[in-house]
Every structure is written in structure tokens, then in C-alpha cells.
Amino acid sequence: MSEALEELRERLERWDELCAQLKELYYKYLDLAAFRSDKCYFPGRKCKRSWDRQYDMGDLTLMWTYIANTAPLCGKLIRALAEVEYKIRLKALESLERYGGVEKKSRPSNEIVNWQLRKPVYSYLVIDGEKLYVIWGEPKGVPHRGRQRSVVLERKILDALLKIKSGIFDELHFNVFNIDHEYERLWLEVPLSESASKLLGGRDKAPVALFRSLGWLLSDDSRVKLVHEAGNPGQVALRLFDWIALVKYATKRLVFDEDKPLVFKLAVRYITKTKIGENPRVYIRPIGFSARVIKETYLRFGIPFGNPKAVIAHGYEVIGVLNNMAIRRHKVESVVDDVNSWMALSATLTSLIIGDGTISPYLIRISAKAKPEGGAARELAKALKVSWHEGKVALWPRLMKLLLPAPPTPAFKKTVKLYKTLLEYPVAVVVNIGGKKYLLNNEKGRFRIGGKKAVELRELLRRVGVEAGYNGRLYIKYKDLMNLAKRGFEVKFLNQMEKEAVKRVPRAVSVPDHETLRRIFEKIAEVARFRTKTYGKHKSIVISLIDKSKFEEVLKLLEASGLRFSVYQKKKMFIIYEQTLVEAILSVVSHLFSAPSLCFSCV
């Protein structure tokens, strides 16, 4: 058994424990969302913008409903689907061991071998009322090809279901699970802007389930047939859950026949062998009525299903429109503008990431599967206004901080990893080295610091054997920070809320005694002039050198004094901002100062 499949079995055994852990993460995310709303990164009651559109109570109610729906998926249905997925994967491994397989493709360079099973494994899921029926094996008398295949197959499966309900088993192998309606969370309807509506069938609103399916279509779904194939244990359970949510929504809200049972097929025909074990590839698709409902739903929302290139182009265009409406630059920060587009964008992107994303603690990348990869990556990057490289699109910090998470589930580990990354995403890091602490900000996956501290930290890092990039600012990679932590240095990553807490803590400022201040400034006055600059209610002290050649001498004098100051090398100038220091200096050597300045450009 592969490590991944063994891990799925362990997650099923520890289901309740893992769900309790996920609920703790969910509560932490609620706190983070409340903080972001209070600070106006997310919509909030007190938020005012420099543009016309204001948040109303409808915006806020919908936002908090969406966030509440990111609670963990731990219900009966998702657990039953995960158990079925585990069983079919296990049966496939047993089939390979018992009946063998035929080697189809080999990759000697990375030791990957694909085997076609001599005896494939099949099962059919039937959702009927409050029950999930799992019927194992392939029914007899079904044509191999032709338009009638799906109709005959669905009829055979529903006939078997009637026999099971009647107690006539006829050597049928089946399981029955009680299920719930947890999928109804994905029915939350998001109002569409005029531009988004034009791309989505002219409709005025669309459910979260549709945007999640759009994300799957842009990643691991086939764009020609209703088929999904996955090697990652747990992914099949989640994709089935999303399909069920979409079909149930359509039968309730789009006037379909809602009394019919839903049928889905699972099959394993191939197993991939690697150094870490054997991994069955599970193929799933809706059958009969379920397939017709999904196709009709795609059609009603303007998705050109059946044409791969058109699906990709259309999907990226939708993402581009949603992104343009959702996020706007406000001063130095990106903030949410249109709440509805923001939620639709989040639902689409998180599903796309779960299917085709590479998730690390500091950066998320999305692989473009469509060919040519470069063209697809370029179009997706253009839609999201980010960069791309070698077929992968990197989500920049503005998206990482604003993207709403998808509900995690123990069924699929990747959903938990994504949730944690969006919750704990480090906007900064504090490094304690050489007895001093340095705060570095995350800039596109690298952590940077500028000014005098950058030079100081660069020298300290060199002493411990760490090379960092420098171009006026110091850049450190995440892996180098982790190496520092492994070597015993204090490295603490901060999310947005934690960074704000660090910024709110007043810094302890040591003020030299009056005699020391008088001696230092009278010495500096020999080669410089002093003035105060006022901005708002605050003052700063500007030290401008008359003799520029004395720059290093003055710098050493200020550093030796322990004063906190900023250096402007180009203008050979020093500025003291700390109000405690400013007041102390003015009280002692005010006679050395020229008239205060209100000019910012002259600094």
C-alpha cells in the first residue's frame, strides 16, 4: 500500500479528532477575518473608501455567510465518499496483486511505471433520499459503445437498487451509508455584476457550487466529457461532493426533476508504481440523469463545455472579470471592492488550486495544464495580474491575503494545507540574530528589509554562512530562513494580525542623559546644521551636513550614542523621528536649531 493511501486510512480512523482540530483552525480564521474587516482589508461597517461604492448590510451579511460556510466539511456524506474511495483504491491494489497487470508506459529516469489492470475494479454510487448506495462490479448486458450505453447502464443500476430495497440481493455486493445535506452550503448564491453576468449566461446570480466546478474544469476535469481522474487519495471524494452539490442545486433551483436518484460511476483501470508505492488512478463520471443535469447547468451558465480551448479561454476571461471587479488598490494596500465578485473569484481559484496548485507556506503556484502550457499560463497570469514562469502562475501577496478559503475536510489533505496557508500566510518574519531583532516583510515570496538594518543584517548573515540577495534592500528566501531556524536562531513568521500586534507594541527608546546629548550635538554642530520638520502633530530632527566628507564620522558618533535615527546616504543626511528623543534633544540644545520647516520636498 502506498504512503498516501495509508495516510487516507489513518485520516478516516482519526476522523473526529481531525475535525476537532479543523474547527480550531476555523475559529482562528474567524478572528483573522474579523481583524481584516476591522482594518478594512475585508469589507467592514466602519470602512470608508476614496471611491464611490460603499459596503451595505447586504454585502456584509453575504460575506459573513460565505465565511461561516468555510467551516470544515465533516458530515456523513463526505465521510462516506472518502470511505468508498479508500475501498476502491484498496480493491484495485488487491486486483493487481491477485490478477496482475500489463505495463503500458515507463519512465526509467524517475522510476515511474504505469500498469493496466487485467481485472479493473468498478463501483456505482447512487444517491437516493437520505441514503448512499454503493454497488460493486460492472452490470451485465450493457453495450460497450453507443448513445444507449449511458441509458442502459443507468437503468441496470437503478434496477439493482430496487432489488436491494426489496431485499432481493441476487449475489449483489453493496454498501449502504446514511448521508446528510452538508452540500447545501455550496448553494449560496452570489449576485453577478453586469460584466460577469454576460459571461455566465446572462443570469443575475450563480451558486458557489458552480464556481467550484468552473475551477475543476480549469484543472483536473476533462473539458470534453464529464470525467474526472485523480491519483491523489481524497480528491475523488471531494470532486464527487461538488458534483452532487451542483446537481442538487439544479434540481431545486433550476426546475429539473428532483425525485430521480443520482448515479455516479467509479473505476480503476490503471495503477502508477513509484519508489514510494503503488497509487491507483480513480476515474469518476456522472451517469444518465446526473450527467444531463450537469451539462444543462453548464449550458445555462454559458460555459462552452465540450470544446477544451473554449472552456479554458472562457474560464480565464471569467476569472479576469471577477478579479478586476473584486480587488482595487487603495493607497499602499489592495482591498476588496466588489464583495460578490470577490466571493466568486475565491470559490473559483481555491478549487483551481486544489486541483492544479502547488501550495507552500509562503507562496501558491498554479500549473497551467492546457497546451501550449506557456500560452495558458500567460493568459491566467494576465487575468490575475500576476507573474508566470515555466507554465506556473504565482499568486502574489495581495491575492494570498485577500483570497477567501475553501472549507477543509479530513477526506483530502490538500484542502487542509490550503486552509492553513491562507490562515497563517506570513506577511512578515522576525529574525533574532546577533542579539538583535529584524522585521522583514514578505514581497512575492521573498522577505525583505531596507535601510541601515539591511546592511547590518547582511553582514550578520554572512558571518553565519547565509548569502542573501541585495540591491539596496536585503532579500532572504523562505528556505534560508528555515535553515536559520534549524540552526537554532529565532525565526518567527507573522500573519497579518500578528504583524499588526507587533507594530502596536511601543518600542523602548533609550534616551541619553542631558550632558551626553549636549556633548554629542555640540560636536556634530561643527560640521552640520540642525532643523526641525513638522508633520501633523509630530516633529522630527533633520541633521544636514555642511562638510559632506564628515559623513562617516557623524554616523559613528550617532551609532555610539545609541540614538535611533534614519540615514539618507544620497543627501548625506540623518533624521530622528522618535518623539521622546526629539523632545529631549530640543529641551537641551534648542539654541543650535534653525527655524522649523514645513517643507517635505526639501528633505
**pLDDT tens digits, residue range 571-603?**
788 888 777 788 888 888 887 876 444 333 333
**What distance in Å separates the CA atoms of residue 348 and residue 342, rounded to the nearest whole number?**
10
Task: Kindly report the CATH number that applies to the domain delimited by 514-592.
Answer: 3.10.28
Euclidean distance between the first and the last CA atom of the chain, given in angstroms as a whole number? 68
**What distance in Å separates the CA atoms of residue 215 and residue 238, rounded to the nearest whole number?**
13
Output the nine-digit C-alpha cell for 430. 522576525
> In sequence order, what are the residues at sequence separation of 6 or more whose Cβ sits closer than 8 angstroms to the Cβ of residue 376?
312, 316, 368, 369, 370, 391
Query: Is the confidence at residue 225, as pLDDT, over 90?
Result: yes
Q: Note the pLDDT tens digit of each residue in 463-503.
A: 888 888 887 788 898 888 988 888 888 899 998 888 887 76
Residue 488: which region, alpha, beta or left (left: phi > 0; alpha: psi -120 to 50)?
left
Q: How many CA atoms lie within 13 A of 206 on its CB side?
A: 34
Query: Is the confidence at residue 64, as pLDDT, over 60?
Result: yes
**What distance in Å separates the CA atoms of residue 309 and residue 193, rounded to the nearest whole number?**
25
Burial of 488 (0-12, 13-18, 19+ CB in 10 A): exposed
User: Is the bond preceding residue 139 a cis peptide, omega within 30 degrees?
Assistant: no
> What is Dmax (Cα atoms) for the chain?
105
Q: Note the pLDDT tens digit of each residue in 69-124.
A: 999 999 999 999 999 999 999 999 999 999 988 887 666 656 778 899 999 999 99
Query: Is the confidence at residue 508, as pLDDT, over 50?
Result: no
Q: Note the pLDDT tens digit of each residue in 331-371.
A: 777 888 889 999 999 999 999 999 999 998 888 999 876 55
* Ordered DSSP codes for 239-270: HHHHHHHHHHHHHHHS---TTSPEEEEEEEEE
Query: What pLDDT is recorded for position 99?
Result: 92
Query: What pLDDT is recorded for position 101?
Result: 86
Query: Is the confidence at residue 254, as pLDDT, over 70?
Result: yes
Give the percent of the chain with pLDDT over 70: 92
Q: Note the pLDDT tens digit of each residue in 288-300.
A: 999 999 999 999 9
Question: Which residues pair with residue 107 across a beta bridge?
Answer: 112
> In sequence order, what are the residues at sequence separation of 6 or more whose Cβ sits closer than 8 angstroms to the Cβ of residue 423?
25, 28, 29, 32, 405, 495
89 contacts 282 by C-beta, under 8 angstroms: yes
Query: What pLDDT is recorded for position 333?
Result: 78
Query: Is the confidence at residue 183, as pLDDT, over 90?
Result: yes
Give me the residue label for grid cell 479528532: 17
446 contacts 476 by C-beta, under 8 angstroms: yes
Nearest to 410 by CA among 9, 126, 127: 9
Query: What pLDDT is recorded for position 414?
Result: 96
Global pTM exceeds 0.95: no
Output the nine-digit C-alpha cell for 65. 455567510
Rounded to the nearest angstrom, the gap between the alpha carbon of residue 529 and the centroid of all alpha carbons in its chain is: 52
Q: Buried (b) or exposed (e) across 53-65, using 16+ Cβ within 10 A?
A: eebeeebbebbbe
- In the chain, CATH 3.10.28 covers 514-592
Query: Is the confidence at residue 383, as pLDDT, over 80?
Result: yes
Q: What's the chain's average pLDDT?
A: 87
Mean pLDDT, to the nearest integer, of 154-174? 87
Q: Note the pLDDT tens digit of each residue in 402-422.
A: 999 999 999 999 999 999 999
Report the interhelical angle of 235-253 vs 208-217 (nearest 10°): 130
Among the ranges given (33-37, 251-255, 357-361, 379-383), the one the predictor scored with the smallest mean pLDDT:
251-255
- HEC string of 318-372 equals HHHHHHHHHEEEECCEEEECCHHHHHHHHHHHHHHHHHHEEECCCCEEEECCCCC
Nearest to 87 by CA among 245, 280, 261, 285: 280
Report the interhelical angle of 339-356 vs 308-326 (nearest 10°): 140
Backbone angles phi, psi at 407, to 5 degrees: -60, 130
Give the percent of the chain with pLDDT over 90: 47
Neighbours of 16 (CB within 10 A): 10
Q: How many CA atoms lie within 13 A of 545 on its CB side?
A: 17
Query: What pLDDT is recorded for position 602?
Result: 39
Query: What pLDDT is recorded for position 550?
Result: 86
405 contacts 355 by C-beta, under 8 angstroms: no
Question: Which residues pair with residue 190 across a beta bridge?
Answer: 206
Mean pLDDT, to the nearest integer, of 258-279? 88
Query: Is the confidence at residue 156, as pLDDT, over 70?
Result: yes
392 contacts 366 by C-beta, under 8 angstroms: yes
Q: Note the pLDDT tens digit of each residue in 538-549.
A: 788 888 888 888
Query: What pLDDT is recorded for position 600?
Result: 34
* 131-136 vs 173-178, strand pairing mode: antiparallel
Backbone angles phi, psi at 338, to 5 degrees: -100, 115
Q: Note the pLDDT tens digit of each residue in 509-529.
A: 567 788 888 888 888 888 888
